[in-house]
Every structure is written in C-alpha cells, then in structure tokens.
Structure 1
Amino acid sequence: MARNEQDPAASTQQFRAFANSGEAARKSPKTGLIIGVVVGVIVVLAVIAAVALG
C-alpha cells in the first residue's frame, strides 16, 4: 500500500482497527472473570454439600 501523507483516511482506518482490537481485548478478561466466579461458586457449593452430607 502506498503511503500518501495528504490522505488521512488510511491512518483513520488503521486507528479504528486499533481501537476496535482494544475493545475486544478488554471484553475478554471480563468474560473470563465471570466464568471463573461461576466455577468458583459451584466448587464452594460442592464442598459445602460434601461436608454436610459426609
């Protein structure tokens, strides 16, 4: 791709791609955190049930 300093569209497009990739990266850890909390709660409930029934 040829670089043309008079045409800012290429840099705008690159910036938007960069910004969008940042949003995706920020959303992923949040999803992982939610899954981790759910799994942790299930494990705690299983341990409590095992102790109560044991």
Structure 2
Amino acid sequence: MSDQHIDPAGNTQAFRAFANAREQEAKATPKKSPIVPIIAVVAAIVIIGIAAFLLLQ
C-alpha cells in the first residue's frame, strides 16, 4: 500500500536544488560574443577588396 502522506518539504527542497543547479550552470557557461566572427568577416572582405583593387589596376 502506498503512503498517503506526501511531504511537501521534500518536493520543495528537490526543486530548489534543481533551480540552484540550473542557475550555477548558466553562470558557469559564459555566452559567446558574436563580435569576433563579425570582425573576421569584415577583415576578409577588406582584404579581398584590396586584392581585387590591386589586381584590376
């Protein structure tokens, strides 16, 4: 026969542990900045433009 008494503190503690783990995980993985790829693409476009300009002269 199953236990009819459900301990709400156990569920709350489990949820708090889960929520705290998710917050710590989010803080541990920093978000990647899109600035580096943007700079790389702009630099590549500039270099290709300069090379094309010099070849067409």
Scaled by the length of structure 2, the TM-score of the pair is 0.53
2:31 alignment partner, one of 2, 6, 20: 20
Q: Which runs of 5+ in 2 are unaligned?
A: 1-13
Which structure is higher in helix share? 1
Specify the SS of the correspondent of 1:20.
Answer: coil
Scaled by the length of structure 1, the TM-score of the pair is 0.55
RMSD: 2.6
Compare CA radii of gyration and give the structure with the larger one.
2
Aligned residues: 43
2:23 alignment partner, one of 2, 11, 14: 11
